[in-house]
Amino acid sequence: MKDKIINGLRFAGLGFMEPLVRLINGEEPKKNSINLVKRVVIPVFSIFLFIMIWHGGATYLYNVEADAKIEKALNDQGEEAAKEMEACIASGDVSCKPNALPSPLEVFGAYKKLMKDHAEISVKKDEFKQKVAKTNEQRVAKGQKPITYTGRPSFVDQIGTSLKTVLAGFVLALLIAVPIGIIIGLSDVLRNSFNWLIQIFKPVSPVVWLLLVFMIVKTLITDPDLDKSFIISFISVGLCAMWATLVNTSVGVSSVDKDFINVSKVLRLGVGKNIFKVVLPASFPMIFTGLRITVSVAWMVLIAIELLAQSPGLGSFVWEEFQNGSSESNAKIIVAMFVIGIIGFMLDRIMIMVQKVVSFEKTEIA
């Protein structure tokens, strides 16, 4: 049981919990408590330290902003107004709240508010669904489109949309980059002739890709029912992120161990068998490293692209909140920042898990 838990934790990349599990089982208390302190307590302490510094910094900035406001009131309207302003700030009224870096508490408050908002919207959505259920049945029976909820999406919905976009972009990158990478990797001539293209397109900024995709998609897709902004953003994400996989696949395929190639030659394997039984498995570690980079690039680029493409998602959420400009919006932006970071981290972990399952090299993948 204990070993199962530990193996499961290790597999999920949560190996740092191992000493805790062992300690609970009463195994080598001294060694494991030292390990627990090293691997859990100190990291947790460092998180607290980070929050403390953040809090201190936020308080300082708040004070600077408040002083500046009072100063301004004093200079523009005189002593009376300055005193009024001071009182107003002390009371915490929204109308005169200094707009600075939000403190950790404010961010947590914003997070709770977003979740509450999500719950409210979910209830509304359910109500709406129940209301239109009958009408929708009739519409579908008639061959018409069902009515869908078109109200404001909640924060959680935005995360869902972003994940959907990134997944679609990743699949696109996978479908383009891996086959092309294999073909390029197998032939020196093709690799040399495509190399300049790859080298030129690899560093192109996501914004430019978005514009390029926009130019093409705008002409090709005229059906108004299709979600154009979603198509544009996922294609751009895919195109931006595929280069790492393309390069890694071609390098991996072209540098398969000579011994394996010799085996394939001596057994006289056909082209298909050579690729699927020898070349691909041998280059799996390289391809997966590329795919990991692709996922993280896709997630990073997504925010910028959603922001520009007016596609719903975390990117547009951040942009809208920034346009909003209130101090609460700032807190929401920071909530979004943490959510983006944590999701990116989790995506990477998932890729590592898949890699561990697929790869023949059972050595530690960090």
Partner 1 sequence: MAILELKNVSKSYGTGTNITEVLTDINLQIEDGEFVAIVGFTGSGKTTLINLINGLHFPDSGEVLMKGKPITGPGPDRGVIFQNYSILPWLSVYQNVKLAVDEIFPGWSKKEKEEHVRKYVNMVNLSHAIDKKPAELSGGMRQRVSVARALAMNPEVLLMDEPLSALDALTRGTLQEEIINIWSEDKKTALLITNDVDEGIIMADRIIPLTPGPNATLGPEFKINFDRPRDVTEINKDPEYKKLRNEIIEYLIDVGATRKQSNSATYELPDLKPVMPGRISWRRKKKEEQVKYF
- Which residues in this chain contact partner 1 in the complex, by CB under 8 A? 259-260, 262-263, 265-270, 273, 277-278, 281-282, 284, 360-362
Q: Which two tokens stand for residue 192?
A: 């040399």
Least distance CB 123 / partner 1 (angstroms): 51
Q: How far apart are CA 39 and CA 17, in angstroms?
A: 8
Nearer of residues 224 and 272 to partner 1, judged by Cβ: 272
Q: Is the Cβ of residue 13 or residue 281 nearer to partner 1 in the bound state?
A: 281
Report in angstroms how near the CB of residue 188 gets to partner 1 at its nearest. 18
- CA 237 centroid distance within chain: 12
| 278 versus 297: smaller Cβ distance to partner 1 | 278
Are 176 and 238 within 8 A, CB to CB? Answer: yes
Nearest to 294 by CA among 231, 243, 233, 354: 243
* Shortest Å distance, C-beta 270 to partner 1: 8
Q: Which is nearer to partner 1, 49 or 358 (CB)?
A: 358
- CB 173, CB 302: distance < 8 Å: no
Cβ of residue 206: shortest distance to partner 1, in angstroms? 35
> What is the closest distance, in whole angstroms, from the C-beta atom of residue 274 to partner 1 in the complex?
10
Identify residue 238 by its one-letter amino acid code: G
Question: Is the CB of 98 or the CB of 281 nearer to partner 1?
Answer: 281
d(CA 10, CA 273): 34
The CA-to-CA distance between both ends of the chain, in Å, stands at 25
The distance of Cα 58 from the centroid of its chain, to the nearest Å, equals 26
Closer residue to partner 1 (CB): 196 or 360: 360
Q: Is-contact 236 209, C-beta < 8 A?
A: yes
For partner 1, give the closer residue by CB, 142 or 268. Answer: 268
Beta carbon nearer to partner 1, 124 or 277: 277
Minimum CB distance to partner 1, residue 262 (Å):
6
Least separation in angstroms between residue 272's CB and partner 1 is 12
The secondary element (H helix, E strand) that includes residue 22 is: helix 18-24
Query: What is the C-alpha to C-alpha distance for residues 229 and 308, in angstroms, rounded to an integer?
Result: 10
Kindly state the smallest distance separating residue 292's Cβ from partner 1, in Å: 19
| Least distance to partner 1, CB of residue 268, Å | 6
Give the residue from 258, 256, 240, 242 showing the smallest Cα distance to 185: 256
d(CA 162, CA 166): 6
* 104 Ramachandran zone, left/alpha/beta (phi>0; psi -120 to 50): alpha
**DSSP conformation class of 92:** T
Task: Say how far apart CA 366 and CA 355 lie, in whole Å.
Answer: 11
Decide whether 11 or 276 has the Cβ nearer to partner 1: 276
Dihedral, 318, 207, 349, 170 alpha carbons, nearest 10 = 120
Quote the least distance from Cβ 11 to partner 1, whole Å: 17
Instruction: Answer positive or negative: Cα dihedral of 292, 294, 296, 299.
Output: negative
Compare residues 71 and 361 and give the one whose CB is closer to partner 1. 361
